[in-house]
Structure 1
Amino acid sequence: MLDYKFDEMRFHIQRIYIKDISFEAPNTPQIFQKDWNSKLELNIDTFSNQLSNEIFEVVLRLTVTANIDKDIAFLCEVKQAGIFNIIDIPDLYKTHFLRVYCPNILFPYGSECISNLVTRGTFPQTHLTPINFDELLKNKISIKEK
């Protein structure tokens, strides 16, 4: 268990786990006959559930879709989750922990899982670039304010 102490605030990682995995290759084996000139699309979503007073589940959903022309080569979705203790952290910072800090911790695990699934489907390796969750949060806030 990792423990970070910010004066009186504390943060613990209790558990990191896969909540759900899906891999679909609906157009195989015909798709393997085409030249690999795919268009990849990544969708990201995060959500959290409060399990008790200081314990939260955070889920990072990563969905990667690869298309060749109008055909789907593969669709891969991973819900990477974690249980975190967030103790004595003011609400102002709690949102940042739940929507930025925890997803940053979960992202490498989810990215590795997607890479593994795509490779097992015998498609070319897929490596996701790091995500700036701070920027995603800022964009969501500014969209809601308009």
Structure 2
Amino acid sequence: MADEQPQGNGQGAAQQGEQPKQQFQIAKLYLKDVSLETPNSPEVFTGEWKPQVNVDLTSKTRALQEGHYEVALTVTVTAKQGEKTAYLCEVTQAGVFQIKGFEDAARNGLLGAYCPAQLFPYVRETVNSLITQGGFPAMVLQPVNFDALYQQRLAQAAERQKAEQAQGGGAEAKGSDSTAAQGSDTQQ
């Protein structure tokens, strides 16, 4: 019995001065840009409210200092009554994320899917608040599967690269990680 060693809490390596291999931390969340335009008010309030609503979503990533990245999620909601715009609401919620010790594919997955998913609840709340403060019925954004959007973007990039290679271009596509989605619905 005296020879048994305690199992510990799994933090032995960190306590001995070694850094954990993988680190993910939300360093800062912030509202980067916000706007609500109601170009046809107050006339838009006089008729029956049956708008066509379009939702566009975009996520952009940029590297900051070593192991730190900014991810900015922009949602644009446009509601039209016939040909007239009732409102245009645009919200960009951003965050600084510390990501260290991950392989490129895993890091890109975090930046392209996980980080935007962390920002989305803040965007949803801000969009709903702005629209209701503008005098319109509540607009609750539906859940978004950021993992599926990210996988779709990867598949599209692979197809583009394959097409470029078939045409003899062979150049790699460069740019920031981004996901984009569109939706259209009628708000009641």
TM-score normalized by structure 1?
Answer: 0.92
Alignment of 1:56-67 (within 5 A): 56-67=69-80
CA distance in 1, matches of 2:151, 2:26: 25
**1:141: which partner in 2?**
154
**1:4: which partner in 2?**
none
* AA partner of residue 91 (structure 1): D
Q: Secondary structure of 2:143's partner?
A: coil
State yes or no: 1:31 paired with 2:40. no
Alignment of 1:111-130 (within 5 A): 111-130=124-143
> How far is 1:51 from its partner?
0.7
**Deviation beyond 4 Å, 4+ runs, structure 1:** none
Q: Structure 1 unaligned segments of length 5 or more: list them.
A: 1-6
CA distance in 2, matches of 1:79, 1:112: 12
> How far is 1:110 from its partner?
0.6
Higher Cα radius of gyration: 2
> How far is 1:145 from its partner?
2.8
Where is the strand percentage greater, Structure 1 or Structure 2?
A: 1
CA distance in 2, matches of 1:107, 1:30: 32
> How far is 1:115 from its partner?
0.4
> How far is 1:78 from its partner?
0.4
**1:80: which partner in 2?**
93
CA distance in 2, matches of 1:115, 1:20: 15
Q: Structure 2 unaligned segments of length 5 or more: list them.
A: 1-19, 160-188
CA distance in 2, matches of 1:8, 1:142: 29
CA distance in 2, matches of 1:102, 1:82: 8
CA distance in 1, matches of 2:152, 2:79: 25
> How far is 1:43 from its partner?
0.3
1:61-83 CA distance string (max 9 Å, x none): 00000111111110000010000
Q: Secondary structure of 1:52's partner?
A: coil
**1:16: which partner in 2?**
29
TM-score normalized by structure 2?
Answer: 0.72
1:79-133 CA distance string (max 9 Å, x none): 1000010011111101111010000000000110000000100100000011001
**1:3: which partner in 2?**
none
The CA RMSD measured in Å over matched residues stands at 1.0
Over the matched positions of the two proteins, sequence identity in percent amounts to 36
Aligned residues: 140
